[in-house]
């Protein structure tokens, strides 16, 4: 991948946060970027300094017609896609019992089903040109669950399972998949990209309620520097052998380490019984 002098990126959700920063970094490298957002006017300033490098497209990842139109325009403009970055998404805070379908189903439509359809639409073009990278923005919450984020966790856990299978399917074409698992970074995510369930039950004040209160009070105080995080991601994208999983931030690494230790402990405690669940010899 690193021997291609300039690359063509398609990045969803470029209006702010990680998507915006990654687009700026790709442009600074001299790469070409298909920058997308629901409202294309929000990325006008991104394109202005780089008129020959940027194709601005309105893209709603929940609308199949919008996805198809974007792919047609991308191929017509640049002929290929080397790096697909599925970044569009949003969060939702609330206990599983508190949240309503009207609140969590749109999140799945964007975080999971939108990612699936954008990927399906881009793959024929990527396969035809041989090789590339698919970068799926998950979260540390796609690897470890947390009270108050259960349905958000579910959407991101699904992205990770999909990505693992996809990595095996596209490997013969020279396409690598990278699952990005950021911790808390100082982007606009808590302020702009996370919704809160309308219903709040007193029974959950000590669990999901505490998560709601913490999230509301700590926007702007996250420990992660988003530009440093995206610089590491850029290194991974350009690597000949990128990681399947890329946790970002000390908090993400700590949460993943704790989960792995817990899984190892459960396996050790129950392995002997689990191994005895097969048919008896000769049965």
Q: Classify residue 42 as exposed, middle or buried by CB count within 10 Å of its CB (0-12, 13-18, 19+).
A: middle
Does residue 173 carry a pLDDT above 80? yes
151, 208 Cβ separation under 8 angstroms: no
**Count of all residues that appear for the chain in the document:** 283
- Give the separation between CA 29 and CA 23, rounded to whole angstroms: 10
Does residue 282 carry a pLDDT above 80? no
| Axis crossing angle, helix 115-129 with helix 150-170, rounded to the nearest 10 | 20
With b meaning 16 or more CB within 10 Å and e meaning fewer, what string describes 176-197? bbbbbbbbbbbbebbeeebbbb
Candidate list 66, 155, 156, 163, residue with the active-site label: 156
pLDDT digits over 263-278, tens only? 999 999 999 999 999 9
* Residue 125 CA to its chain's centroid (Å): 21
pLDDT digits over 161-172, tens only? 999 999 999 999
Does residue 221 carry a pLDDT above 80? no
The whole-number pLDDT of residue 152 equals: 97
User: How many H-runs (helices) and E-runs (strands) does the chain carry?
Assistant: 10, 9
Q: What is the mean pLDDT of the chain?
A: 92
Q: Which SS3 state, helix, strand or coil, does residue 226 take?
A: helix
Tell me the pTM: 0.93
pLDDT digits over 57-107, tens only? 999 999 999 999 999 999 999 999 999 999 999 999 999 999 999 999 999
Candidate list 15, 66, 138, 215, residue with the active-site label: 138
Give mean pLDDT, residues 156-164.
98
How many Cα atoms are found within 13 Å in the side-chain-facing hemisphere of 239?
15
The whole-number pLDDT of residue 112 equals: 98
Does residue 5 carry a pLDDT above 80? no
Give mean pLDDT, residues 112-132.
96
Give mean pLDDT, residues 219-238.
88
pLDDT range class, residue 193, cuts 50, 70, 90: low
Give mean pLDDT, residues 175-182.
98
Does residue 187 carry a pLDDT above 60? yes
The whole-number pLDDT of residue 48 equals: 79
Candidate list 152, 155, 204, 208, residue with the active-site label: 152
The whole-number pLDDT of residue 111 equals: 97
User: Which residues share a beta bridge with 194?
Assistant: 91
The whole-number pLDDT of residue 6 equals: 87
**Which CATH number does 8-251 carry?**
3.40.50.720
Domain ranges of the chain: 8-251
Q: Is 138 a catalytic residue?
A: yes
Closest CA to 237 of 185, 175, 182: 175
Q: Please report which helix (H) or strand (E) contains residue 120, including its range.
A: helix 115-129
Q: Is 204 a catalytic residue?
A: no
pLDDT digits over 13-45, tens only? 998 899 999 999 999 999 999 999 988 888 888
Q: Is 163 a catalytic residue?
A: no
Give mean pLDDT, residues 189-198.
73
């Amino acid at each position: 991948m690193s021997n291609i002098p300039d690359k063509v990126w398609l990045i969803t959700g470029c209006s702010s946060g990680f998507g915006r920063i990654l687009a700026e970094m790709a442009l600074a490298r001299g790469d070409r970027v298909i920058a997308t957002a629901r409202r294309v006017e929000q990325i006008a300033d991104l394109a202005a300094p780089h008129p020959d490098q940027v194709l601005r497209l309105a893209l709603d990842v929940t609308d199949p017609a919008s996805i198809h139109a974007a792919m047609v325009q991308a191929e017509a403009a640049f002929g290929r896609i080397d790096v697909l970055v599925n970044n569009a998404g949003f969060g939702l805070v609330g206990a599983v019992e508190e949240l309503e379908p009207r609140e969590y189903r749109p999140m799945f439509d964007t975080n999971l089903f939108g990612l699936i359809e954008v990927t399906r639409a881009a793959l024929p073009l990527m396969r035809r040109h041989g090789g590339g990278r698919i970068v799926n923005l998950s979260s540390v919450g796609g690897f470890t669950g947390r009270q108050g984020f259960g349905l958000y966790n579910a959407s991101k856990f699904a992205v990770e399972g999909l990505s693992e299978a996809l990595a095996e399917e596209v490997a013969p074409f020279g396409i690598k998949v990278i699952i990005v698992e950021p911790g808390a970074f100082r982007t606009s995510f808590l302020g702009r990209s996370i919704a809160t369930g309308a219903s709040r039950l007193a029974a959950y004040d000590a669990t999901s309620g505490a998560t709601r209160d913490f999230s509301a009070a700590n926007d702007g105080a996250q420990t992660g520097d988003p530009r440093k995080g995206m610089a590491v991601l850029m290194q991974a994208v350009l690597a000949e052998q990128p990681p399947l999983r890329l946790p970002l931030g000390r908090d993400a690494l700590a949460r993943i380490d704790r989960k792995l230790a817990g899984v190892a402990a459960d396996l050790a405690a129950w392995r002997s019984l689990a191994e005895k669940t097969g048919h008896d010899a000769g049965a």
